[in-house]
Structure 1
Amino acid sequence: MPDNPLAAVDPWDLVAEDYAGSTISVMRPFAVRALELAGLADRPVPPRVVDIAAGPGTLSLPAAEFAERVEALDFSGPMIAQLESAVRAAGLGNVAARVGDGQALPFADAEFDAGFSMFGLMFFPDRPRGFAELFRVLRPGGVAVVSSWASLERSTWMQISWRALGSADPDIRTPAPNPESLENPEVFEREMRAAGFEQVSVVPHTVEMVFADADELLARLTRGIAPLELMRRAVGERAMADRIEAMRSYLTEHYRPGSPLTTTAYLGVGHK
């Protein structure tokens, strides 16, 4: 079992359906920005694209508009099932999805023109291996874009989320800054360069969200969120219901309906 529980497949299997229906809306603006940074729409020849830790298709689906083919890979079978369902619903014939390990990609060397990992590679137990595999499968001249959340201080959305959780369970502590993770742009750039990428840049991108009231915000915080599903499994349904009510009370008191919350991510861009 990895040290970080979110590096294991089980929590993502648990939340796949709700993640596809709810959380993907938070992630989609970052995927659109990643596609812009990669310049997919500007290419004279449609590129071959790989999407690693693809989840339910947050990036794979919009990438299909510009790509000759998108190969999507995730270690969660239920996430891939959600992606395949979305592909069928959209009538896309150029997206293929499979279950696999982003640290040991089942693709040949130099197979793709562009590669992405949206909020996935950041959790890999062996990040250097993940970056190296992404570099390996790109053709010379290819581009990669990888995203990771910025530190908590740059996200009012995550701040209120953790405070609401803490109101429900005093043993929960707001995560401390981790300067060795990809929330540190210097580490992000260093790890991409160590894998062989050149012309590396780490670009911040901020998304704003507005909720009608505390209940709408609570629904977003409690649907498709892997850490909460792990908590539910640990404490049981009755205790979890009590915690959700405590979160509702906190948000009713501390969230002003219609006020904006922001979250920031870093997008690392590298070229081969």
Structure 2
Amino acid sequence: MPNPDEIRDAQRATWAGLSAGWEKWDQVIMDQLGPVGAALIECLDLNEEQQHLDIASGTGEPGLSIARLLPTGRVVLTDLVAEMLDIAARRASAQGIATIETTVCSADDLPFDDATFDSVSVRFGYMFFPDMAGATAEFVRVLKPGGRLCSSVWVKPEENPWTAIAMQAIATEAVIAPPDNDGPNMFRCAAPGCVSALYRGAGLRDIAEWDVHVELVTESPEQYWDMISEHVSLAVAALQRVDEPARERIRADAIAKVGAFKKDGKVRVPGVARCIVGTTQDAIVEVSTRVL
């Protein structure tokens, strides 16, 4: 079994290779994940001067949306992959957002002082951390007393046909190893209470979780396949192991199946994410007494 450093090295290489696909399909992806970003923002209790940390920022969301709400605040975007943060920086520049910083780092080894941030967001990063408990402890360490941590993960594959359709088609031609329940994978945190338990273990309070529905919208079944096959890590890796005739058969199968989701001239494939929020303990005020 690879150690955490080996896992991170592999993740850097994989996501660096996927960065072009993420940038190409950025608008489609952002539209799909928009409801989750909005849910995270709503629970963060933002104010204009807030100091915010976004973990596993990828191409920038929800960090860029948060920055637009903090005109006199500070937003730090972090990711393991420099190529992803380069895209986020370009997006920020194009949108005229000047209050962000980007830092390449691992989630379980943050280069920030204790009690630096008022809030932390982690959109779809938890499932891929080699050490989820260690990462959670880091998030709590850099949060100020009373600060909020809000994250999101995917629920089980059956409730996310937007990815299941493609993977089922790929499985007709390629052997796909079952995911390691204890290792990084897209649905590692699907079970209710999984991330909440990590929060409790790190000492967070007022923990709540709820589901958020999303919808992947594409112009056609063909566009659905192009988009999935160019930015979903599992699909990209599996397709690299089959020859061209097999890829064409997979493509045809996925396109045929996703056609069942055509509505109003577009393909609309549903999905479900889970959001989790928790708060750090308030500062303990020590009261000394003196006998006169």
Aligned mates of 1:217, 1:167 — CA distance in 2 = 18
Distance in 1, Cα, partners of 2:94 & 2:79: 20
User: 2:190 aligned with 1:183, yes or no?
Assistant: yes
CA distance in 1, matches of 2:164, 2:233: 17
1:200-259 CA distance string (max 9 Å, x none): 111111102343432021112112222233335555xxx2x4343122211333223335
Identity %: 24
Query: How far apart, in 1, do the equivalents of 2:275 and 2:156 lie?
Result: 13
Identify the residue that residue 41 of structure 2 maps to in structure 1.
35
Unpaired runs of 5+ in structure 1? none
Q: Does 1:263 align with 2:268?
A: no
1:207 counterpart residue number: 214
| Deviation readout 1:96-154 (Å, 9 max, x if unpaired) | 00111110100111111110111112211110011110111111111111111101122
Q: What TM-score do you get using the length of structure 1 for normalisation?
A: 0.87
TM-score by length of 2: 0.82
Please report how far the alpha carbon of residue 156 of structure 1 lies from its aligned counterpart in structure 2 after TM superposition. Answer: 2.1
Distance 2:245 2:130 in 1: 33
User: Contact conserved, 1:166 with 1:173, CA < 8 A, in 2?
Assistant: no
**Distance between the aligned counterparts of 1:193 and 1:232, measured in 2?**
39
Larger Rg: 2
> Cα distance, 1:74 vs. partner?
0.6
Please tell me whether the aligned partners of residues 35 and 212 of structure 2 are also in contact (alpha carbons under 8 angstroms): no
Matched, 1:227 2:234: yes
- The count of residues paired between Structure 1 and Structure 2 equals 263
> What is the alpha-carbon distance in structure 2 between the residues aligned to residue 87 and residue 251 of structure 1?
35
Report the counterpart of residue 159 of structure 2 in structure 1. 154
**Unaligned 5+ residue runs, structure 2?**
281-292
CA contact (8 A) 2:170 2:238 kept: no
Determine the C-alpha separation between the residues in 2 that align with 1:210 and 1:233. 25
1:27 aligned counterpart, secondary structure: helix
Which range moves more in the overlay, 14-23 or 95-104?
A: 14-23
Q: Equivalent residue for 1:143?
A: 148
Residues 147, 265 of structure 1: 8 Å contact kept: yes
1:126–1:249 distance in 2 versus 1, CA, 3 Å: same
Out of 23-32 and 127-136, give the one that drifted further: 23-32
Deviations 1:51-108 (A, max 9, x none): 0111110211111112211011111011111111112212211000011111010011
